[in-house]
Structure 1
Amino acid sequence: MLWQSYIKGFKAYLKLERSLSDHSVDAYLNDIKKLIQYYQALNQEPDLTEIKAADIKSFISWSNELGMHASTQTRVISGLKAFFTYLLIEDIIQNDPMELVEAPKLTRKLPDMLNIYEINELIAAIDASKPEGMRNKAIIEVLYGCGLRVSELTELKISNLFPQIEFIKVIGKGNKERLVPIGGVALKLLDIYLNEVRVHVKIKKGNEDFIFLNRFGAKLSRISIFNLIKSLAIATGLKKTISPHTLRHSFATHLIEGGADLRAVQEMLGHSSITTTEIYTHIDRDYLREVITQFHPRS
């Protein structure tokens, strides 16, 4: 295909113009690869300038027949919209084939959340006698105590810790910076890890400022955090399906159930839209029933 130069330019555009992380850039490029795979399945090499909305809709139908989930289709359509917008900006195409293409409607599925007792059990299941034990305790406390995305945790730096004022500086999506409060328990565990454990690790060059390191002295990967959460869930016999995002979800939900202002939670989570934050406002039925019983005049 003759698309490679355009894809290379799109990659540079995402990095330089939109300041996206490597992870986000890879996600966009994978969306384009799916469209390429569709044409390869048809044994076609279409001209980018000739692709129309009908072609994109045929691609979506093909994806649907292959069993692609609606949320994945929405993600791919979003990536393709960005790609064809870039082609318009560069005058490579004159008409946007994505203009009349709509993403499938999604039903919002709320992820499992943990109560404070379950979170305490996860932390208690960590063997602090092992070299990585105190690091792992600090990881869980920071994920839950600050509501971080897993990528934000792995990129967290010592130079962005401000323990005197109990804040950390987080680099979120699109390299956007935000200050997030950090509680005393998380700070204490971080202090122990940094000053009693991490100091004994031979740090790989270029990783000196990253807080969380693996046994080889390099920053932890996202998959390492996923594996940690999974192993702790198994160790505690937890039946829920959880991931690092579960702790972020629990952080937001517990704040809102406790009466925190939605705008404040939005700021701490680093959401650009309040609509995104609203997914965390689900409250268990018992709590809702209690509110109705207490405050509704007809209850």
Structure 2
Amino acid sequence: MNIQSYLKGFSAYLKLERSLSENSINAYLNDVSKLFEYLQLVKQDATLQTISLKELRDFIIWLNELGAQASTQARVISGIKSFFIYLMEEELIKNDPSALLETPKISRKLPDTLSIHEIDQLIAAIDASKPEGMRNKAIIEVLYSCGLRVSELTELKISNIFEETEFIKVVGKGNKERIVPIGATALKFINIYLNEIRVHQTIKRGNENYIFLNRFGAKLSRISIFNLIKSLAVAAGIHKNISPHTLRHSFATHLIEGGADLRAIQEMLGHASITTTEIYTHLDRDYLKTVITEFHPRA
């Protein structure tokens, strides 16, 4: 079965109809491709019209046996369901075999976080004598003070900083825009970077409005931010397995511990559902228990 023409149409559907990001589209295409790779192994005469619910379930079982986590399986199922919805809308199939495909239950694992002291250690580990030092300080401050996803940070534009009101405009998943407060410290480091470092760079055409640039004058990649965080953790002597997302988790955790409203945190993180934000309430309970145990005279 030649799947490439269907994948091409599916890609256009995800971009135009669903407004998904490039990364999400590629993930969906890869997941659907995996399904057809599996079908080629077990049923070489499979067609779009003959795929059954049992075969889809067997594919998910196969992924599980390969060691795919429940969260990965859930993402794959989401991609498959979207693919068959596309096929139905285009009238390429008459029945949707994925309609009754169950998503595995995902245990909400408590994410790793950094303490305020550890974040200070991370920032202190940055070599400010190097040209990229002030840029890196601004990056850590923005990730932590705004709770951004790494892709939101790399796409952040100068024109989306509203310094007078201390807000930034962020373009999140599905090109959804949100307004997020930004702290004075983060703004200070951004201004130092822009006015004292970035101003001396030769900027690659088309990258003029991106805040954070690499040494070639182009916007930073996601992987370069990952590498930065990993190297700073080593330099700071932090032995946790951290990533840019750890700073996002820390942002939410520290707000919860400070008593912030869950709806406000949901808005700032750009979560479509409050249940996604509620993962952080477990931290709140632990924090309150510690406070009572340590400080309450009747504990």
Instruction: State the alpha-carbon separation in 2 of the partners of residues 22 and 140 from structure 1.
Output: 24
State whether structure 2 residue 129 is matched by structure 1 residue 129: yes
**Which digits, 9 at most, give the CA deviation of each residue in 1:147-206, with x for residues without a partner?**
000000000000101101100000000101111000100000000000000011111111
Identity of aligned residues (%): 69
SS in 1 for 2:49: helix
Aligned amino acid, residue 145 of structure 2: G
State whether structure 2 residue 226 is matched by structure 1 residue 229: no
Which runs of structure 2 are paired with 1:87-166 in the superposition (5 Å)? 87-166=87-166
State whether structure 2 residue 44 is matched by structure 1 residue 44: yes
* Deviates most, 187-196 or 28-37: 28-37
Which runs of structure 2 are paired with 1:124-273 in the superposition (5 Å)? 124-273=124-273
* Deviates most, 75-84 or 32-41: 32-41
**Following TM superposition, by how much is the alpha carbon of 1:85 offset from its aligned partner in structure 2, in angstroms?**
0.9
Indicate the residue corresponding to 2:66 in structure 1.
66
Instruction: State the alpha-carbon separation in 1 of the partners of residues 18 and 287 from structure 2.
Output: 44
Indicate the residue corresponding to 1:287 in structure 2.
288
**Which digits, 9 at most, give the CA deviation of each residue in 1:113-143, with x for residues without a partner?**
0010000000000001101100000000000
* Deviates most, 211-220 or 55-64: 55-64
**Following TM superposition, by how much is the alpha carbon of 1:37 offset from its aligned partner in structure 2, in angstroms?**
1.8
Instruction: State the alpha-carbon separation in 2 of the partners of residues 14 and 161 from structure 1.
Output: 29
**Following TM superposition, by how much is the alpha carbon of 1:45 offset from its aligned partner in structure 2, in angstroms?**
4.4
- The 3 A distance-change label for structure 1 pair 207 and 45 is farther
**Following TM superposition, by how much is the alpha carbon of 1:42 offset from its aligned partner in structure 2, in angstroms?**
2.9
Q: Residue 84 of structure 1 contacts residue 96 of structure 1 at CA under 8 Å; is this kept in 2?
A: yes
Aligned amino acid, residue 63 of structure 1: L
Aligned amino acid, residue 143 of structure 2: L
State whether structure 2 residue 39 is matched by structure 1 residue 5: no
Aligned amino acid, residue 176 of structure 1: K
Aligned amino acid, residue 17 of structure 1: E
- Scaled by the length of structure 1, the TM-score of the pair is 0.95
SS in 1 for 2:34: helix
Q: Residue 152 of structure 1 contacts residue 170 of structure 1 at CA under 8 Å; is this kept in 2?
A: yes
Instruction: State the alpha-carbon separation in 2 of the partners of residues 6 and 292 from structure 1.
Output: 60
Aligned amino acid, residue 266 of structure 2: Q
Indicate the residue corresponding to 2:21 in structure 1.
21
Indicate the residue corresponding to 1:35 in structure 2.
35
Instruction: State the alpha-carbon separation in 2 of the partners of residues 292 and 81 from structure 1.
Output: 48
- The 3 A distance-change label for structure 1 pair 286 and 158 is closer
**Following TM superposition, by how much is the alpha carbon of 1:273 offset from its aligned partner in structure 2, in angstroms?**
0.8
Instruction: State the alpha-carbon separation in 2 of the partners of residues 295 and 89 from structure 1.
Output: 61
**Which digits, 9 at most, give the CA deviation of each residue in 1:254-291, with x for residues without a partner?**
11110111111111011111111111222273532434
SS in 2 for 1:152: helix
- Scaled by the length of structure 2, the TM-score of the pair is 0.95
Q: Residue 257 of structure 2 contacts residue 287 of structure 2 at CA under 8 Å; is this kept in 1?
A: no
Equivalenced residue count is 298
**Runs of 5+ unmatched residues, structure 1:** none
* Deviates most, 276-285 or 32-41: 276-285
- The 3 A distance-change label for structure 1 pair 96 and 295 is farther
- The 3 A distance-change label for structure 1 pair 146 and 286 is closer
Instruction: State the alpha-carbon separation in 2 of the partners of residues 122 and 273 from structure 1.
Output: 31
Q: Residue 138 of structure 1 contacts residue 189 of structure 1 at CA under 8 Å; is this kept in 2?
A: yes
* Deviates most, 279-288 or 239-248: 279-288
Q: Residue 253 of structure 1 contacts residue 282 of structure 1 at CA under 8 Å; is this kept in 2?
A: no
